[in-house]
Each structure stands twice: as C-alpha cells, then as structure tokens.
Amino acid sequence: MSTVKALIGQAVDRLADDLEALSRKIHDHPELAYQEVQAAAWLADYLTGQGFAVERGVAGVDTAFRATMDTGSGPTIAILCEYDALPAIGHACGHNIIATAGAGAGAALAAVRDTLPAGRIQVIGTPAEEGGGGKIKLIQGGIFEGVDVAMMIHGFDRWILHQDLLGIVRVGFEFTGKAAHASADPWEGVNALDAVIQTFNNVSMLRQQVRPDARIHGIVTQGGAAPNIIPEIAACTFYVRAPRLDDMWDLHRRVIACAEGAARATGCTLRVIDLEAPYEPLKRNNTLLGLFRANMAAIGAMESPPLADRMGSSDIGNVSQVIPAIQPMVQIAPHGTPIHSRAFEAAAVAPLARRGMCQSAKTLAMTTYDLLADPGLVKKARAEFEAAK
C-alpha cells in the first residue's frame, strides 16, 4: 500500500469515534425526505471543521450541501452522502452510515491534503433518496456538471462490488364512483373501492406474465370513509420496476391498463397520477469498480458474489446515467438481515456498522486518491461510460 493510502487508513482510525458519534446522532434523529435539516447541518458543520468550503442548500434544495476541497487543476471527484430516513422505521436503510462513510472519506483526504495530487474533492449531501429524488434535483440544478466521477456506498448484509438497480416509475390511481347507503340503497352506488381491489387483482394476473426481474407492488392509499357508505373515492399507488427503462415503461403502460379495466368493470372514472420523477437503472463502470475492489482487498474487506434477485432502486441510478458512478454495497449488518427492516435499523448503529463505515471511508478515500494520482483512470472511466451509452 502506498504511504498516502496508509496515512488515509490511519486518519480514518483516528476519526472513527467522532464519525460513529455523528452516525448515531443521525440515526437517533431520523428525518424524512427533504426534512433532513439536522443531519445536513451536522454533516456540513463536520466537513467545515475538517477544512472543506461548504455551500449549504445547493441547487435550491435546502437540505443538500456541497463541500469542496481544491488542491489545484485536475479531475473533480465527488463522494455522495445520503441521510434521509424511512417513515415509521427510521434509519432502516442505514443512510446514517452512507453519510458518515462519505464525510469520513472527505475528512481522511483532508488529513493528507498536503500530499494529495492536484484536483478537487467534493463531498455532496444528497437528500431524499427514499422518495423525492434528491439527486435528480441536483442533476437538474447542475451540481454534477463539473464532476468527473461520483461514488458512494450503501449498507447491506454483505460486501458486493456492484448490485444492479432497477428503474422505477411510481403511479397513482384515483377512482371516483358514487356514494350510497351500503345496506339501504347499495344499487344506487358505484363502488370506487371495488375498482381499487380489481386493479390489484388485475396486476396480480399481470405479474404472472412479466419477467422475473420486474417488480410491481402497491398499497391502498384511500379506501372509503365508513362501511355503511359505498366508497365514492378510492385510491392506490403502485411502484413499477424493471432493469431496463424501455421494459419499465412497457410495464407501466400495462399496469395503467389494469386500472383502466377495473374502472370500466366497476363503472368508476379513473384519474392516473404521475408521482415524482423515475429512478433510472445503475450503469455499471468497471474501471471505477476495479479500483474500488483493489482498495477493498487492501483493507481486508471480503467481497461476496453478486445477487441476482435482491434488487432495489435509487436515484444514484440517475447520476450513473450522466457521469461515471458506482455504489458498492458494504456489510453493516449480519448476513441475512433484510434492508428496510427493524433488524437493519438496529444493526445500523451496532459495532459491525461502525466497522463497515470505517472500511467504506477508507475505500472511498483511497479510490479518490487513485483517481487524482492518475487522471488517465478518470479518462478511462469516462470512455467506458461513453461506450456503454
């Protein structure tokens, strides 16, 4: 290992207690999408203290930030932090670890600033991953325009260098029928809840005829006011996911047809509601992954084989469609712990999570160092990105 990388590792070890305290603070004060006021401020304060020039509320997003350290003319490498929590189950996606691994990587690089090759390091705070598409707003706001390469990690129950992400489109259906007394005059009513139930039944049948890597799942968001009133309004929301964007849009069309059929069958009228911008699939970049893998091996992190069936979606996918970007999965919970579970929420502040956070901070910082030390690698990552278009 190079001397600078050894120094990066030592810096993370030295900062580990502070980073763990920050991680716990974020974890214990879960904030939902675009409401991550405390988490964003704590991270921005921390990076300011480490010598970064921090801009708060970038791209018109109050809880986004950009922390920059400039060491001269060279590539711009971004390390991304997420810090939003989930409704009801808090930090069950471990974004407190993403946040502190990213901030820790920045801090470790700041600690070796005098020995860094010329370039620019940005730690970017990206809110609202669990819904709301914070990174999409930052892309639209031009935050990634001057960035050559972006990377982040995500907590998981094992180390996986690259996990495919599904594209996701979210759609709402609102059915309008006609209220009537459910016992005295049911034949006068048009039952909007029946349309919702029929939509679920239609989607269940559709699901038999889709590819195994597609996902369609929904909840009822409105189901009537009282059992003695034929529901006048009922609504549901579906998420539709597929590994390719064209397949995703095709499936989206078929799911809408399920709702249209339900409306027809029940005599309701249907309003289709587009819900927030789609998340795009993760574009793979082997140049960046290769560097990350070598640094993982150097710090003794054990890589597991990729998993074909445990796929989610994230707005890092959208970033990966505009610049080379990676999101390796990092072990922060015991094997077999599902994410978005209460067990994962508890694991995200356990000793294994501290270890994963420190290992991630080191690997992210070392990979950033590699890219600054050899800008040819940045060009190679870009060429691979272009070729994959």
Residues that bind Zn ion (CB under 5 A): 93
- Whichever of 52 and 83 has its CB closer to Zn ion, that residue is 83
- Give the sheet arrangement for strand 269-279, strand by strand: 215-222, 233-242, 167-176, 269-279
- Whichever of 93 and 364 has its CB closer to Zn ion, that residue is 93
* Residue 331 falls in which region: left (phi positive, over 0), alpha (psi -120 to 50) or beta: beta
Cα 286 to its chain centre, rounded Å, is: 20
- Whichever of 93 and 160 has its CB closer to Zn ion, that residue is 93
- Whichever of 4 and 168 has its CB closer to Zn ion, that residue is 168
Contact call for residues 189 and 230 (beta carbons, < 8 A): yes
Residue whose Cβ sits closest to Zn ion: 93
Locus of tokens 């409306």: 263
Closest approach of Zn ion to the CB of residue 249, in Å: 23
Distance CA 218, CA 250 (A): 17
DSSP code per residue over 17-71:
HHHHHHHHHHHHS---TT--HHHHHHHHHHHHHTT-EEEESGGG-TT-EEEEEE-
Closest approach of Zn ion to the CB of residue 99, in Å: 11
Closest approach of Zn ion to the CB of residue 93, in Å: 3
Phi/psi at 217 (nearest 5 deg)? Answer: -150, 145
Contact call for residues 287 and 384 (beta carbons, < 8 A): yes
Cα–Cα nearest to 361, from 295, 313, 263: 295
Locus of tokens 């799942």: 217
- Whichever of 93 and 240 has its CB closer to Zn ion, that residue is 93
- Whichever of 93 and 136 has its CB closer to Zn ion, that residue is 93
- Whichever of 121 and 332 has its CB closer to Zn ion, that residue is 332
Closest approach of Zn ion to the CB of residue 248, in Å: 19
Closest approach of Zn ion to the CB of residue 92, in Å: 7
Q: What angle do CA 254, 256, 262 make, to 5 degrees?
A: 105
Closest approach of Zn ion to the CB of residue 185, in Å: 46
Distance CA 81, CA 209 (A): 38
Closest approach of Zn ion to the CB of residue 130, in Å: 5
Closest approach of Zn ion to the CB of residue 68, in Å: 25
* Residue 51 falls in which region: left (phi positive, over 0), alpha (psi -120 to 50) or beta: left
- Whichever of 74 and 90 has its CB closer to Zn ion, that residue is 90
